[in-house]
Amino acid sequence: MTSITLDRVSVTLGRFTALSEVCAVIPSGQQTVVIGPNGAGKSTLVQTILGQLPHQGSLTFDPPNPRFGYVPQRLDFDRHMPLLVSEYLAMGLSLRPLWLGLGSGVKRRVYDALAQVKASDLADKPMGSISGGETQRVLLAAAMMTKPDVLVLDEPATGVDINGEQLLCELLDELKSEHTIVMVSHDLPTARAHADWVICLNRRVVAQGSPKDIFKTKVLVATFGLHQGQSEAFY
């Protein structure tokens, strides 16, 4: 399993400094949740880890060159495009074009991945007809099919109802024994309940540690700029 170390990582987007000298450790085989206010650079951090943004400073993986699985906040696609869930998942596995149908090996892997995220019933549904929570589970299945060392999730529960969110958290709890998980979240109670390690980000790292250490009034006040009454509401 892979650990990630960021040493004075800075990311500049045009003239805007999105991340400033971020120093953090993401431990292997645990679920790390990155929290912070809007504009704190959480998604920028995720994109940097995924190798999509140039950065200054040192970003190291141990062992090096890990495989990534990525679950975005939402999937922006043409919902009227004729595409079954099984076809969507198969595209990333094989070059065999969709118009020839799914090969038996690919089909088996697709159904296994859907079973792993408790979504076997979605295989023959059109992508445009499934709900937000179902889409997130399909994206999780797609990410898992690459057999990732590091699973990165960018606010995966946005727009998902409470049952869908609960199911997603349970799935991640099951997966963290086999993968290093990095998740961006706005949902502090969920982060508190499911994270093993928390990084508080506001363009720089304000604090990092176990949920027990992080979910204290003074840390939340420093990260989010909350007043005492607001931060106590999270207990």
Partner 1 sequence: MELLNPLYALAGLFYEPSFMRRAQVALLMLTLTTSAVGVLVVNRRMAFFPDAIGHSIFAGVALALILNLGVQPTVLVMGLLLGLLITFLSRRGHLAPDTVIGLVFSGAVALGLALVSREPQATSGLSRFFLGDVLTVSDEQVMALVILVVISAISLFFLTNPLTLGSIGPKVGPGRDWPDYLFGAYLAVVVMIAVQAVGVLLVTALLVTPAATGRLLTVSFKGMFWTALACGVAAGQIGLFASFQPSLNTSVGATVVIVNVLIFGLAAIFRRIFPARG
| Cβ distance to partner 1 smaller for residue 95 or 162 | 95
140 is a contact residue toward partner 1 (CB under 8 A): no
120 is a contact residue toward partner 1 (CB under 8 A): no
Interface with partner 1 (CB under 8 A), residue from 19, 40, 45, 71: 71
3-state secondary structure labels for all residues of 100-126: HCCCHHHHHHHHHHHHHCCCHHHCCCE
156 is a contact residue toward partner 1 (CB under 8 A): no
Nearest 5°: phi and psi at 26? -110, 110
Closest among 191, 156, 149, 194 to 29, alpha carbons compared: 149
186 is a contact residue toward partner 1 (CB under 8 A): no
Interface with partner 1 (CB under 8 A), residue from 14, 38, 65, 99: 99
61 is a contact residue toward partner 1 (CB under 8 A): no
59 is a contact residue toward partner 1 (CB under 8 A): no
75 is a contact residue toward partner 1 (CB under 8 A): yes
CB 106 within 8 A of CB 93: yes
What is the spatial distance between Cα 192 and Cα 173, in angstroms, rounded to a whole number?
Answer: 13
What is the spatial distance between Cα 209 and Cα 200, in angstroms, rounded to a whole number?
Answer: 9
Nearest distance from C-beta of residue 199 to partner 1, angstroms: 21
Distances (CA, A) of 136 to 71, 119, 154, 156: 7, 10, 11, 7
Stretch of 90-98, 169-177, 200-208, 215-223 lying at the interface with partner 1 (CB under 8 A): 90-98
| Cβ distance to partner 1 smaller for residue 81 or 193 | 81
Nearest distance from C-beta of residue 109 to partner 1, angstroms: 15
What is the spatial distance between Cα 44 and Cα 48, in angstroms, rounded to a whole number?
Answer: 6
139 is a contact residue toward partner 1 (CB under 8 A): yes
Stretch of 15-23, 86-94, 162-170, 193-201 lying at the interface with partner 1 (CB under 8 A): 86-94
| Cβ distance to partner 1 smaller for residue 78 or 162 | 78
64 is a contact residue toward partner 1 (CB under 8 A): no
77 is a contact residue toward partner 1 (CB under 8 A): yes
- Interface residues with partner 1 (CB under 8 A) are 50-52, 68-72, 75-78, 80-84, 87-88, 91-92, 94-101, 125-126, 128-129, 139, 146
